[in-house]
Amino acid sequence: MRVTSLLVKKGTYKALVGIEKKPSKMEDDERNDIDFCAKATIILCLLDEVLYNVMNEEITFDLCCRLEILYIMKSLSNKLFMKKQLYSLQMKKGSPILQYHNAFNRILSDLLALEVKLEEDKALLLLSSLPSSYDHLATTIMYDKETLELKDVRQMLQNNELMKRTDSTEKASGLFVKGQRGRSKSRGPKRDLRLLAVSLSIFPKNHDISRKIV
Sequential DSSP letters for 136-175: HHHHHHHTT-S---HHHHHHHHHHHHHHHHHHHHHHHTT-
Model pTM above 0.85? no
On whether the CB atoms of residues 202 and 152 are closer than 8 A, the answer is no
pLDDT at 124: 87
- Among 113, 124, 115, CA closest to 87: 124
pLDDT in tens, the chain (214 residues): 888 888 888 888 888 876 555 555 667 788 888 889 999 999 999 988 888 889 889 899 899 888 888 877 777 778 888 889 899 999 998 888 989 999 999 899 888 888 888 766 888 889 999 999 999 988 888 887 777 888 889 899 989 888 888 877 766 666 555 444 444 444 455 555 554 455 545 444 444 444 443 3
pLDDT at 29: 80
Residue 12 three-state SS: coil
Residue 194 three-state SS: helix
Q: How far apart are CA 159 and CA 77, in angstroms?
A: 38
pLDDT at 213: 39
pLDDT at 207: 45
On whether the CB atoms of residues 186 and 170 are closer than 8 A, the answer is yes
Q: Which residues contact 179 (CB under 8 A, 6 or more apart)?
A: 185
Buried b (16+ CB within 10 A) or exposed e, 107-146: bbebbeebebeeeebbbebbbebbeeebeebbebbeeebe
Q: What do you get for the CA distance between the two ends of the chain, in Å? A: 23
